[in-house]
Chain A
Amino acid sequence: MATTTKGSAVLTLPSDTEILVTREFNAPRHLVWKVLTEPDLIKRWWAGQRGTVTSASVDLRVGGAWRYVMTADGGFEVGFHGEFREIDAPASMVQTEVYEGAPDGDSEPTLNHYALTELDGRTTLTVRTVTSSKELRDLIIDSGMEGGMQEGYDLLEELAAALAAS
Chain B
Amino acid sequence: MARAATTTDAFNAVAEPRRREILDALAGGELAVGDLTELLGLAQPQVSKHLRVLREVGLVDVRDDGRRRLYRVNGAPLRAVHEWVVRYERLWNERFDLVDDVLDELTRTASEATEASKATTTTEEETGRGD
Which of A's residues lie within 8 Å of B, judged by CB?
A: 4, 6-9, 11-16, 19, 21, 23, 25-27, 31-32, 34-36, 41, 44-46, 48-50, 127, 134, 137-138, 140-141, 145, 148-149, 151, 153-154, 156-157, 159-166
Contact = CB atoms under 8 A, between A and B. Distances in A.
A50 B86 contact: no
Contacts of A25: 96, 99-100, 103
Contact of B98 (A32, A36, A45, A159): A45
A23 B91 CA distance: 13
B75 A140 contact: no
23 contacts: A6-B100, A7-B93, A8-B93, A8-B96, A15-B6, A16-B12, A25-B99, A31-B107, A35-B103, A41-B102, A44-B102, A50-B94, A127-B92, A145-B87, A149-B87, A156-B86, A160-B81, A162-B75, A163-B75, A164-B78, A164-B79, A166-B27, A166-B28
Chain B, interface residues (CB within 8 Å), range: 35 or more
Contacts of B87: 141, 145, 148-149
Nearest to A140: B88
B75 A164 contact: yes
Main secondary structure of the interface of A (DSSP, over half): mixed
A156 B82 contact: yes
Nearest to A165: B75
Interface in B94-112: 94-104, 106-107, 110
B79 A161 contact: yes
B101 to A, nearest CB: 7
A160 B83 contact: yes
Interface string B4-18: 001111011011000
Contact of B97 (A6, A35, A148): A6
A7 B97 contact: yes
Given A15-B12, A34-B106, A44 B75 contact: no
B75 A166 contact: yes
Given A9-B96, A16-B15, 8 more contacts: A25-B103, A46-B95, A153-B83, A156-B85, A157-B86, A161-B75, A163-B23, A164-B75
